[in-house]
Structure 1
Amino acid sequence: MNPRMHDDEVEVPQALVAELVRTRFPDWAGLRLTALRGTGTVNAVFRLGEDLLVRLPRRPGEAARLPAELAATRELFGRTRFPTPEVVAVGEPAAGYPFGWSVLRWIPGTPADEVDTAGAQDLATDLAEFVRGVRDLSLHGRRFSGDGRGGDLHRHDGWVRECLARSGDLLDVPALRALWERCLRLPHVSADVVTHGDLVPGNVLVGGGRLAGVLDVGGLGPADPALDLIAGWHLFEGPARERFRAGCGGRDLDWVRGQAWAFVQAVGLVRYYARTNPAMSSVGARTLGRVLADPLV
């Protein structure tokens, strides 16, 4: 994999991270530092010793969101029975690295993109419970704002069409284009709830066929309640997907819009990461295959 996935990303070599830890947290300087090579795309992640994780933004935009990400991480921690990241410490720019960074508690488990979860019904049950638990958090008067996933599907029309136009060698573009046209006719009638916002396989930890934890919670916030239903297509098929759907409850229209949000995310993953992160691209392609196999609109 080409380590440079974005034009504006900074390099985060292991030696630099070791120096940051040594300078800011000298008590941890002797702990083993190990780079984690996963499908993550906007943060460099290193395991520190047995119990800690160092997380460093690769891009200026992600770095600017770090305070909000830390606030969201603290908001969710301990609010469901499933482990989520715990903020242990925060570091400042230093040693040639221009952004703030964080140290989190390590959560044991295997990322779901490394195992077959298509028929994992117990995992589906657990993940639905997690989605309900997140929805139960207070909005504190907040409402969705911005152009990201979880608001108006129409705001993503240009991006989806661009991705499809450039994916003729990767996807069944005519079928996907026709499906997207139908997605755009879906009304948005449900009120915002708190959502995780990015339940892709790499953010779901599995252990013994059950949910061991959920990562990357910085997008926690108000959005279309259909948004977290993307996990139904990213992770499951057949009875397991139905188990997830039943466990999440809600309107039938939300379930259909959840498929539309999965489409939006997946089509971008396929094209954007086709050369720089094939593993992430393949996640999107698999999701789109599931969507085409079971179109709801």
Structure 2
Amino acid sequence: MTDNQQDGRAGIDAALVRRLIAQQFPQCADLPVTPVKIDGWDNRTYRLGDELTARLPTHESYVAAVHKEHQWLPILAPALPVAIPEAVAKGSPGEGYPYHWAIRRWIPGETASPETVADLDELARSIAGFILALQSVDATGGPIAGAHSFYRGAPPEYYHDETLEALAVLKGRIDIDLAREVWDAALATSWDRAPVWFHGDIASGNLLVRDGRLSAVIDFGTCGVGDPACDLVIAYTFFSGTSRATFREAVQQDPATWARARAWALWKALITADIPVVEEVLADHELHT
């Protein structure tokens, strides 16, 4: 895609970003605007010079994250062991673009992968430390899990019908009875303590590393306060074997929370037909129950 082509998502392109910047933040109007090499689906992100980014939601459902992150990122940052996005400014609708948008500080680093991570066990401990630090932040007044977090932090039961439909579709490709056992075991538990902070999407694409070590966690669009089980899903989508065991020990969560974590991982794997992750979840259930 060229610099000026639209990608079909909310009509966002570099030319739009330049117009918005010139209109609302003229002090940045001379900065070059370039698409980032690795982008997400919920937002389109552009570099503004060397130190800033512009992040524009692609749909109305992602706009709540702009306001939420602008308010809460500065509060969360001091308590966390690695960098997180720094909210610099919040843009308004304009130039035909209908949503609020964000300017953030650029965070250097490489996306976490088996190729960029020096030691998976060390990464597992680092992510566990991040999760525990996040849970320790005072959750008073924080955004209770709901539509803004796409129900991360709420009971996985919200996706019950979707899960059962996916199970029916995958009949014959996975052990349906065991998968239903995993799902039912999760729904039989609940988070019965005070709500805690969760990130909501701790996945390799939202982890940055430098020199092979975790250096930043990005994209807090699904964060909130509630049940932290959703933050354990990376155990099945990225870790395995000794690194999963290391993560499990370091993150210090109880068996019921792990049961719901398996349900979160199972739901996503089912609706995306990610059979390898489904198999990982089922094997882990059998190992720990």
**TM-score bracket, shorter-length normalisation:** 0.7 to 0.9
Match of 2:212 among 209, 212, 218: 209
Amino acid in the other structure paired with 2:281: V
State the SS of the aligned residue for 2:208.
strand
Give yes or no for contact 1:57–1:63 (8 Å, CA) kept in 2. Answer: yes
The 1:18–1:167 alpha-carbon spacing in structure 2 relative to 1, beyond 3 Å, is farther
Match of 1:243 among 226, 243, 246: 246
Query: Is 1:290 aligned with 2:280?
Result: yes
- Please report how far the alpha carbon of residue 22 of structure 1 lies from its aligned counterpart in structure 2 after TM superposition: 2.2
Give yes or no for contact 2:116–2:212 (8 Å, CA) kept in 1. Answer: no
More deviation, 79-88/37-46: 37-46
The 1:43–1:141 alpha-carbon spacing in structure 2 relative to 1, beyond 3 Å, is closer
Q: Aligned equivalents of 1:21 and 1:92: distance in 2? A: 10
State the SS of the aligned residue for 1:294.
helix
- Map 1:2-17; keep pairs closer than 5 Å: 3-4=7-8, 9-17=9-17
Give yes or no for contact 2:182–2:263 (8 Å, CA) kept in 1. Answer: no
Match of 1:276 in 2: none
State the SS of the aligned residue for 2:222.
coil
Query: Is 1:30 aligned with 2:33?
Result: no
The 1:183–1:119 alpha-carbon spacing in structure 2 relative to 1, beyond 3 Å, is farther
Match of 1:258 in 2: 261
State the SS of the aligned residue for 2:78.
coil
CA deviations over 1:28-63 (Å, ceiling 9, x no partner): 222222212536221111122111111101101212
RMSD over aligned CA atoms reads: 2.8
Query: Is 1:182 aligned with 2:185?
Result: no
Match of 1:163 in 2: 166
Give yes or no for contact 1:134–1:194 (8 Å, CA) kept in 2. Answer: yes
- Please report how far the alpha carbon of residue 101 of structure 1 lies from its aligned counterpart in structure 2 after TM superposition: 0.6
- Please report how far the alpha carbon of residue 198 of structure 1 lies from its aligned counterpart in structure 2 after TM superposition: 1.0
State the SS of the aligned residue for 2:159.
helix
Amino acid in the other structure paired with 2:230: L
Structure with larger RCO (C-alpha < 8 A, sep 6+): 1
The 1:108–1:266 alpha-carbon spacing in structure 2 relative to 1, beyond 3 Å, is farther
State the SS of the aligned residue for 1:197.
coil
Tell me the TM-score normalized by structure 1: 0.82
Q: Aligned equivalents of 1:224 and 1:35: distance in 2? A: 35
- Map 1:193-204; keep pairs closer than 5 Å: 193-204=196-207
Q: Aligned equivalents of 1:114 and 1:45: distance in 2? A: 25
- Please report how far the alpha carbon of residue 132 of structure 1 lies from its aligned counterpart in structure 2 after TM superposition: 0.4
Tell me the TM-score normalized by structure 2: 0.84
More deviation, 136-145/192-201: 136-145
- Please report how far the alpha carbon of residue 80 of structure 1 lies from its aligned counterpart in structure 2 after TM superposition: 1.0
- Map 1:43-122; keep pairs closer than 5 Å: 43-112=43-112, 115=115, 120-122=120-122
Amino acid in the other structure paired with 2:25: F
The 1:167–1:59 alpha-carbon spacing in structure 2 relative to 1, beyond 3 Å, is farther
Q: Aligned equivalents of 2:177 and 2:209: distance in 1? A: 34
The 1:105–1:136 alpha-carbon spacing in structure 2 relative to 1, beyond 3 Å, is same
More deviation, 251-260/53-62: 251-260
- Please report how far the alpha carbon of residue 239 of structure 1 lies from its aligned counterpart in structure 2 after TM superposition: 0.9
Q: Percent identity of the aligned residues?
A: 31
Match of 2:130 in 1: 130
Q: Aligned equivalents of 1:223 and 1:245: distance in 2? A: 20
- Please report how far the alpha carbon of residue 106 of structure 1 lies from its aligned counterpart in structure 2 after TM superposition: 0.9
Match of 1:274 in 2: none
State the SS of the aligned residue for 1:54.
strand
State the SS of the aligned residue for 1:226.
helix
Give yes or no for contact 2:145–2:153 (8 Å, CA) kept in 1. Answer: no
